[in-house]
A and B are shown apart, each in its own frame.
Chain A
Amino acid sequence: MTDGVAPPGNERPEGEPGWYSRVTGVGSSIRQATVIPALALVSALIIGAFIIAVTDVDTIRIWGDDPGEAFRLTFSGIADAYKALFVGSFGSIRAITETLYAATPLIFAGLAVAVGFQAGLFNIGANGQMHIGGMAALWVGFSISVPAFVHIPVALMAAIVAGAIWGGIAGLLKARTGAHEVITTIMLNFIALYLVDYWLKSSVFQQPGRNDPISQPAAESAQFPTLIGNYRLNIGFLLALAAVWFVWWLMYRSTVGYEFRAVGANPSGGKYAGMSVAWIYVSVMAVSGGLGGLAGANQILGLEPYRGLSNFAGTIGFDAIALALLGRSHPIGVLLAGLLFGALRSGGREMQGAAGIPIDLVLVVQALIIVFIAAPALVRAIYRIKAPDQDGGTTVSTGWGT
């Protein structure tokens, strides 16, 4: 529905804010923008605790014989897990640097998705853009030898350009043919995944003497220098902060960003105001892809072993969707949400190591957070909060329609 004409049966009642303000929180107070996310987090952690309890095989076996002891064990199990989660994310200087470190790629990728949301585009393709951007950064990283202050910027530029092209393909397809960006970005994700596998085994990238898909490492001058002592936290985090500022400036202080948001709020309105909607689709996806490319560069140049590996983007491209929703697509919100998810990841590793709870629980918690964020009515129903002025959930996309 590129022209935004509401199809029959989908007229929105007068005065009800559209998905844009629901997702971005624009027009709602700080309190409204924080209460639901906070309750979503709490609810998700409670359900996570429940999952820990019911999967504790050893304790479940005791329930029949000694319910008191089993009860105690269940609660100490949950307490241990969440204590490790907290200690691993905020308990020490090292833990805090690990949280910031884990947050870095999430912030980049979250910004990528957020820019798309603000312009009414659903970029599921952060994963593919990360792969393509990361490989571009890696290629620059090992094929030229220049001092670090030149090498890193050039590698990052390569990542931005490559990611922007990959994202731009989806934008161009939407603008020219009406192909829905959700479908094209999902497909481009897989194409990128296999391209990376192919490149990793090609003579250009592959580590000499190896048969498995692993690349040569980026030169030392292209690796992100660390910030403090021997902690892993590196300049990638500062770059992420810069990206947050840039996106804020772009979306709220520049003409281009205004057009992005205008088209996101109402494509036909944008069109009648003289904006080229087609061009905006391409540029939004390019900006989004460029940010995704940076996330990919961070996974190569900021992460040991500084090599390309199969599926090096992991689930970050999908976590980014959760992040953008949680942060209401505002750059500051994405930053905070990124820090939270970074804490979950770094704490999750501690939880896995110290309490023996697989880190995959973090994925479950993240998924639950998105459900509660995307369906505020659900949280309100659980906590019996009165709906302020709206109900129902988010509608970001309107079908595959052409």
Chain B
Amino acid sequence: MTANAPTVTAEVKTRATPEERRATAIGVILVLLGAFVFWIFGLGVESGARSNFNLSLPGERFENLRWEVSSQWLAFIVAATLAFLGGFVLRRSQVKRTNLALAIGLSLFVLAFLTWAAADGSFSLVGMLRSSVLLSVPVTLGALSGLMCERVAVINIAIEGQLLTAAFVGTIMGSAWGIWAGLIGAMLTGALLGAVLAVLAIRYRIDQIIAGVVINIFALGLTSFLARRVLSEAQELNSPGRFPSIKIPVLGDIPVVGSLLFNHNMFVYVTFLLVIALHFGLFYTRWGLRSRSVGEHPKAADTVGIDVYRIRYRNVIYGGLIAGFGGAFLTLAQVSRFEENLTAGIGFIGLAAMIFGRWMPLGALGAGLVFGFARALQQKLGILGTPIPSEFLSMTPYIVTIIVVAGVVGRARPPAADGQPYIKD
């Protein structure tokens, strides 16, 4: 607010200055990245080296698709493109295209990096992208859960606890009565914790961050306690089985795209559909308009007759359902076994994805895919034996989030009333 206050009266010209400065900085970064690619990835490999990318998985209809490329030439081309992009941003100093140029630049950088890592070897590109999609599912669902709550101004940092508890209940009910029962149990558990958050935040007006922290500690304590006390006694309750992969006819046979998007378990499809549905719901329906108004200006919403409390309760519980669905994915699709603190921070990556995605469902999906890619890459790097420590890749989501909230790469703006309890007069 302090930073924005003068801009209301200031002229447009003066407001553009920091953004132009930012564009300049990004232009310089792109040029430097280009130089780095030229130097390290280009001159750093032998001139004859070739990188081999596998574009199909074993057992697919079109097997043995591969893309072979000269490692050095690819690096040179990427370096030239990066330099061009940097020059473009520097010359135009045009704010609108800066982020696009940065995104393209970073993707190219990653491509050059992979080519360099796979020089004189082969690399299953589709395999890695496929696992990126899978790893993005709980992150995206966590982000959607957070988004549902924050769009109505209830901060949800309990995503981690919701995922963990739902994964636990899903395991037990899934083992006892089958995977569908597990799924329903997990979703209801998520919803229950959502309801707890809603009651604490709305009825008792506890600080929402404290409420979230409490739910996280409670979830970790309770699930670890029960895992040790009950699951260790009754091992048969800890093997729920998995939802199978369903290959979509025809689409699943398309090379590359088929194995990336159309040959997954039900969770992946539902997540994609959910993102589209929420985007449509939030921006094109009465429910969405009401929710957003409650998040931006609850008093105005109240004045026109919207029941602020009711909408908040409902959406926070929906958010819990989504987180519960994500928790079910962890133990009913990814692994089929519960372990103490199984989530290990996925909920917080979801929170990060929500912020990186700027409180938008499509943004959440994009951020989830980026963070999923970072995790998949980290797992692959160990196999390739590159000198880059995997820990730094693990940090990516968190560093990106700090950069985004600090407004270095565009400002992420939360709903205006986020975190504030509404007191009806």
Contact size range, B: 35 or more
A-B contact pairs, 15 of them (CB 8 A): A57-B230, A182-B209, A183-B405, A184-B402, A187-B398, A191-B399, A194-B394, A361-B225, A367-B215, A367-B221, A374-B211, A377-B204, A395-B205, A399-B419, A402-B413
Considering only residues 1-21 of chain B, those with a C-beta below 8 Å from chain A are: 1-5
Residue of B nearest to A194 (CB): B391
A-B contact number at CB 8 A: 210
Task: Verify if B176 is at the interface (C-beta below 8 Å from A).
Answer: no
Chain B residues, Cβ within 8 Å of A70: none
Establish whether residues A315 and B220, one from each chain, have CB atoms under 8 Å apart when the complex forms: yes
- A356→B212 CA distance, assembly (Å): 30
Q: Which residues of B contact A401 (CB under 8 A)?
A: 1, 414, 416, 418-419
- Knowing A194-B394, A198-B389 are in contact, say whether A370-B214 is a contact too (CB < 8 A): yes
Query: What residues of B have a CB within 8 angstroms of the CB of A179 in the complex?
Result: 402, 405-407
Residues of A near B218 (CB, < 8 A) are 363-364, 367-368
Report yes or no: B225 in contact with A402, Cβ–Cβ below 8 A. no
Query: Does A3 interact with chain B (Cβ within 8 Å)?
Result: yes
Contacts of A177 in B (CB 8 A): 3, 405-408
Minimal beta-carbon separation of A337 from chain B (angstroms): 15
CB of A1 closer than 8 Å to a CB of B = yes
Q: Which of A7-15, A93-101, A247-255, A299-307 contacts B (4 or more CB under 8 A)?
A: A7-15
CA distance A28 to B41 in the complex (A): 66
Q: Is the CB of B355 within 8 A of A183?
A: yes
On chain A, the number of residues with a Cβ less than 8 Å from chain B's Cβ atoms is: 67
Decide if A19 touches B407 in the complex (CB within 8 Å): no
Task: Mark each residue of chain A from 1 to 45: 1 if its CB lies under 8 Å from any CB of chain B, else 0.
Answer: 111010111100000000100000000000000000000000000
Q: Are A124 and B420 in contact (CB under 8 A)?
A: no
At the interface, yes or no: A180 with Cβ under 8 Å from chain B? yes
Residues of A close to B178: CB separation below 8 A: none
Decide if A19 touches B221 in the complex (CB within 8 Å).
Answer: no
Please, what's the 1-or-0 string for A159-192, where 1 marks a CB less than 8 Å from any CB in chain B?
0000000000000010011111011101110110
Q: Is the Cβ of B395 less than 8 Å from the Cβ of A360?
A: no
A394/B398 contact (C-beta < 8 A), A1-B1, A197-B391, A400-B419 known: no
Residues of B close to A194: CB separation below 8 A:
391-392, 394-395
Q: Which residues of B contact A319 (CB under 8 A)?
A: 217
Are A402 and B3 neighbours in the complex by a CB distance under 8 Å? yes
Contact A367 B210 (CB under 8 A): no
A400–B406 Cα distance when bound, in Å, is: 12
Interface check A275, CB cutoff 8 A: no
Judge whether B345 is part of the interface by a CB distance below 8 angstroms.
Answer: yes
Contact of B209 among A55, A122, A187, A358 (CB under 8 A): A122
What are the interface flags for B390-404 relative to A under an 8 Å C-beta threshold, 1 for contact and 0 otherwise? 011011001101100
Residue A362 CB within 8 A of the other chain: yes
Bound CA–CA A2/B214 (angstroms): 25
A360 contacts B225, CB within 8 Å? yes
Cβ proximity bits A319-360 to B, threshold 8 Å, 1 near / 0 not: 101100100000000000000000000000000000001101
Chain A residue contacts of B302, Cβ below 8 A: 9
Q: Which residues from chain B contact A325 at a C-beta distance below 8 Å?
A: 210
* Cβ contact within 8 Å between A363 and B299: no
A206 at the interface (CB under 8 A from B): no
A122–B3 alpha-carbon span in the complex (Å)? 21
Binding site for B on A (CB under 8 A): 1-3, 5, 7-10, 19, 51, 55, 57, 122, 124, 173, 176-180, 182-184, 186-188, 190-191, 194-195, 197-198, 201, 315, 318-319, 321-322, 325, 357-358, 360-368, 370-371, 374-375, 377-378, 392-402
Which residues of A have CB within 8 Å of B418? Answer: 399-401
The smallest beta-carbon distance between A387 and chain B, in angstroms, is 13
Main secondary structure of the interface of A (DSSP, over half): helix
Pair B157/A186 contact, Cβ less than 8 Å = yes
B146 to chain A, nearest CB (A): 11
Which residues of chain B come closer than 8 Å to A197, judged between CB atoms? 391
CA distance A367 to B211 in the complex (A): 10
Q: Which residues of B contact A368 (CB under 8 A)?
A: 218
Asked if B277 is an interface residue, CB under 8 A from chain A, the answer is no
With A176-B406, A318-B213, A363-B220 known, 12 other A-B pairs at CB within 8 A are: A9-B299, A9-B420, A57-B230, A124-B209, A180-B405, A184-B405, A191-B398, A363-B217, A367-B215, A399-B153, A401-B418, A402-B4
Q: How far is the CA of A393 from the CA of B204 in the complex (A)?
A: 6
**B4 pairs with A374, CB closer than 8 A:** no
CA–CA, A58 to B212, complex, Å? Answer: 34
A362 touches B402 (CB 8 A): no
Q: Residue of B at shortest CB range from A267? A: B2
Closest chain A CB from B332 CB (angstroms): 23
Shortest distance from the beta carbon of A40 to any chain B beta carbon, whole Å: 12
Contact residues in B for A182 (Cβ distance below 8 Å): 157, 209
A45 to B389, CA, bound (A): 45
- Do residues A318 and B216 form an inter-chain contact, with CB atoms below 8 A? yes
B318 interface hit (Cβ, 8 Å):
no
Write out the residue numbers on chain B whose beta carbons fall within 8 Å of the beta carbon of A190.
345, 348, 394-395, 398
Interchain nearest-CB distance for B363 vs A (Å): 15
Query: In this complex, what residue of A is CB-closest to B411?
Result: A402
Q: Are B205 and A57 in contact (CB under 8 A)?
A: no
Q: Is the CB of A7 within 8 A of B405?
A: no
The answer on a CB contact under 8 Å between A3 and B352 is: no
Separation in Å of the A397 CB from the closest CB of chain B?
Answer: 5
Known A-B contacts A191-B395, A315-B220, A364-B222; the reply to A396 vs B298 at CB < 8 A is no
- Is B286 an interface position by the 8 A CB rule? no
Check: B228 CB closer than 8 A to any chain A CB: yes
Let me know if B351 is at the binding interface, CB within 8 A.
yes
A378 to B215 CA separation, bound complex (whole angstroms): 16
Q: Which residues of A contact B153 (CB under 8 A)?
A: 399
Contact B157 A366 (CB under 8 A): no
In-complex Cβ contact of B213 among A8, A19, A370, A402 (8 A): A370
B200 an interface residue at 8 Å Cβ cutoff?
yes
Across the interface, B226 reaches (CB within 8 A) one of A10, A55, A315, A398, namely: A55
Q: Hey, which chain A residues are within 8 Å of B226, CB to CB?
A: 55
Chain B neighbourhood of A363, CB < 8 A: 217-218, 220-222, 224-225
Distance from B224 Cβ to chain A, minimum over Cβ atoms (Å): 4
Is B229 an interface residue when CB atoms closer than 8 A count as contact?
yes
The yes or no answer to B278 lying at the interface (CB within 8 A) is no
Contact B2 A2 (CB under 8 A): yes
- Listed from nearest, the 7 A-B pairs whose CB atoms lie closest are A363-B221, A399-B419, A9-B299, A367-B218, A393-B206, A360-B225, A360-B224
Q: How far is the CB of A3 from chain B (nearest CB, A)?
A: 5
Q: Are A361 and B207 in contact (CB under 8 A)?
A: no
Contact B355 A178 (CB under 8 A): no
Measured between beta carbons, the chain A residues less than 8 angstroms from B241 are none
Q: Does B423 contact A (CB under 8 A)?
A: yes
Q: Which of A173, A186, A360 contacts B221 (CB 8 A)?
A: A360
State in angstroms the CA–CA spacing of A198 and B389 once bound together: 7
Of the candidates B391, B394, B419, the one whose C-beta lies within 8 Å of that of A398 is B419
